[in-house]
């Protein structure tokens, strides 16, 4: 199922590029899935890592995800899919609220995504400086608020022993990028 999800993501994101980059978009979900795999998560969550942006950024639907990968993967993807018809601030507040209340697996998926995004952003800042913010729907101050808010709630309800190392890496990246 994991290879099928990787192939599905590659097909769905074919031709898409990352912000500020000529890099194929699919490398992002591959890195997210790899983070989840390396942290020891189950197959369904790794599949959701590959598929987490498919519904948000392509013509595929949650129904397509469910048909191909089952209800469990569909629900994980759905928990992390933003409604792009809503304003940026509202979408991001919804994600913060989701992370605060979410299951461990949904938190793990969202933080893996945010960490990979932030790693890419740090590289882009090294190359482009403050011009990097021109390609975002919100500037540096709003991005700082968003990422710091995620950090503040990401371990809510979790036993410290179960928090994956990459959550702490995300916290360090937020501090490095925005402080």
Q: How many other CB atoms are there within 10 angstroms of residue 10's CB atom?
A: 16
Select which of 43, 56, 66, 75 is catalytic: 56
Q: How many other CB atoms are there within 10 angstroms of residue 173's CB atom?
A: 21
Please write down the long-range contacts of 121-126, taking CB distance under 8 Å and 24 or more positions apart: 121/177, 122/173, 122/176, 122/177, 124/19, 124/20, 124/21, 125/177
Whether 83 is catalytic: no
Instruction: Tell me how far apart the alpha carbons of residues 130 and 126 are, in angstroms, rounded to a whole number.
Output: 9
The two structure tokens encoding residue 127: 């190359």
Select which of 24, 57, 66, 82 is catalytic: 57
Whether 56 is catalytic: yes
DSSP code of residue 158 = -
Catalogue the active-site residues: 56-57
């Amino acid at each position: 199922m994991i290879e099928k999800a990787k192939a599905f993501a590659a097909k769905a994101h074919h031709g898409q590029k990352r912000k500020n980059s000529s890099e194929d978009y699919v490398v992002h979900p591959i890195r997210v899935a790899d983070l989840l795999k390396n942290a020891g998560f189950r197959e369904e969550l790794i599949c959701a890592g590959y598929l987490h942006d498919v519904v948000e950024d392509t013509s595929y639907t949650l129904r397509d995800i469910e048909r191909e990968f089952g209800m469990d993967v569909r629900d994980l993807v759905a928990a992390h899919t933003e409604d792009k018809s809503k304003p940026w601030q509202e979408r991001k507040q919804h994600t913060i609220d989701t992370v605060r209340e979410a299951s461990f697996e949904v938190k793990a998926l969202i933080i893996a995504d945010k960490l990979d995004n932030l790693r890419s952003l740090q590289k882009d800042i090294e190359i482009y400086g403050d011009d990097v913010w021109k390609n975002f729907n919100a500037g540096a101050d709003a991005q700082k608020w968003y990422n710091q808010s995620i950090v503040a709630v990401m371990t809510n309800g979790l036993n410290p022993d179960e928090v994956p190392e990459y959550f702490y890496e995300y916290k360090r990246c937020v501090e490095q990028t925005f402080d």
